[in-house]
Amino acid sequence: MKPADSPKGQPGDSYSRRLYLALTALAVLSCLGLDFLASRRGELSYFFPHRQGREAPPPPRASLAGLAGRLFTESGLAERDIRSGRDEEGQPRYSIELTEETYLKIALPLESVFREHEASAQVEEGESEGRTTYSWHVQRGDQEKLTLLFSCLPPPRPEGEGLPKPAPPPPPAPEKIAAIIIDDMGNSLEVLQEIFDLGIPLTISVLPQSSYALETAQAAHDRGLEVMLHLPGESLNHQEGEAPLSPVILSDMGPDEIRALVVDSLNRVPFVSGVNNHMGSKITQNKAAMSPVLDVLKERRLFFIDSVTSNRSIAYDLARRMGLRSAYRHVFLDSEVGVSYSRQKLVELFKLAKKKGRAIAIGHPFPETLQALRDSLSLPRKYGVRLVLASQVVPD
């Protein structure tokens, strides 16, 4: 007889339910166990309070002596040059022998290391037995201290030191120089070319109102000659009336008017490096007239050469007192026109330069003067004098 199926709610169904409950309980317990372990490890937990992980203890703080010793090693100091010990208070102390150069290399890094580790250092410099010493007193807090005693070795003696030294050679004799200024330039380009053809360093002083002032200054500059302004001034014998030139500085003009005339004249001649007076025997004796002239030159950093058209001129002395680079004329090449006369004056110029070290001559573009220059090209070498531009003769 086939057994009949168990009706619903019989023992078979009860077994399945018990098995299901057991498995469910086991799963819940497993989850709780895993969650508990997670909480103990400090990980995310859903049922148990989070347990904070124990913080790692901070690393021990490096001692001041350890910091210094490490830096000495990194800097390549030899162990034989470093002695360690204790001071009277029992605090660590280093004594180091090294060169001044090595000390300067490690001083800043050493100070930085101490500062980074909250320590301060006081440094005292001194001398001991011919050596430079540096005493470092380092402190951190109230208790920890360190003393560093640096003794810098003297530089090594060069070979042969101690032997008698040869006497130094005598200083070279100062060079003898002379300058020649050619006045009244700007009225003839043909004469300018004759000056170029001489092939010697000359200084060209250009009249501001001359017909070819601009062209003369430009050409002279292009050929490497120096350009000056030949500034007209009132004379004692009224030469300006015989050959009128404008502008002419007059002794009875006011300072502003004089300054304006000087500025206008400078603006007419480019490449000017200095100024000398044309005529002007009256104004160069007059401080009130010369002061505004020299003021303008000082503002523009130009030098001044007193042509000495009067033996009572105060212009040079006034310029020096005002702080201008200045000089004065020593020789006139053609106060008498003639080749022979100008040759004699050139000899006088070079003899004077040889004796005094420097001298200045002024001449004019007369045919006789230019011929005398052509005939005397070898004179500077004969007297051991070098012909230079005017600015090179004017002292600083």
Q: Tokens 């004379």 correspond to what residue?
A: 235
Rg (CA), the chain: 49
pTM: predicted TM-score of the whole model, two decimal places: 0.59
Q: In terms of domains, do 107 and 228 share one?
A: no
pLDDT at 157: 62
pLDDT at 39: 67
* Structural domain includes residue 43: no
Q: In terms of domains, do 286 and 384 share one?
A: yes
Specify burial of residue 393 (Cβ count, 10 A radius: 0-12, 13-18, 19+).
Answer: buried
* Structural domain includes residue 30: no
Q: In terms of domains, do 98 and 203 share one?
A: no
* Structural domain includes residue 59: no
Q: In terms of domains, do 142 and 183 share one?
A: no
Flag whether pLDDT at 216 surpasses 50.
Answer: yes
pLDDT at 366: 97
Identify the domain containing residue 112 by its residue range: 64-153
Q: How many domains does the chain have?
A: 2
pLDDT at 6: 47
Cα separation, 156 vs 189, in Å, equals 68
* 75-86 tens-digit pLDDT: 888 888 888 888
Q: What is the arrangement of strands in the sheet containing 92-99, beginning at the earlier edge strand? A: 82-86, 92-99, 144-153, 131-140, 120-128
Q: In terms of domains, do 78 and 195 share one?
A: no
* Structural domain includes residue 117: yes
Q: In terms of domains, do 111 and 200 share one?
A: no
* Structural domain includes residue 256: yes
* Average pLDDT, rounded, for the chain: 87
Pick the range with the lowest mean pLDDT from 50-64, 272-286, 358-372.
Answer: 50-64
* 86-99 tens-digit pLDDT: 888 888 998 999 88
* Structural domain includes residue 132: yes
Flag whether pLDDT at 65 surpasses 70.
Answer: yes
* Structural domain includes residue 100: yes
Q: In terms of domains, do 271 and 122 share one?
A: no
Q: In terms of domains, do 187 and 251 share one?
A: yes
Give the amino acid at 198: L
Q: In terms of domains, do 78 and 137 share one?
A: yes
Q: In terms of domains, do 91 and 237 share one?
A: no
Q: In terms of domains, do 74 and 184 share one?
A: no
Q: In terms of domains, do 194 and 288 share one?
A: yes
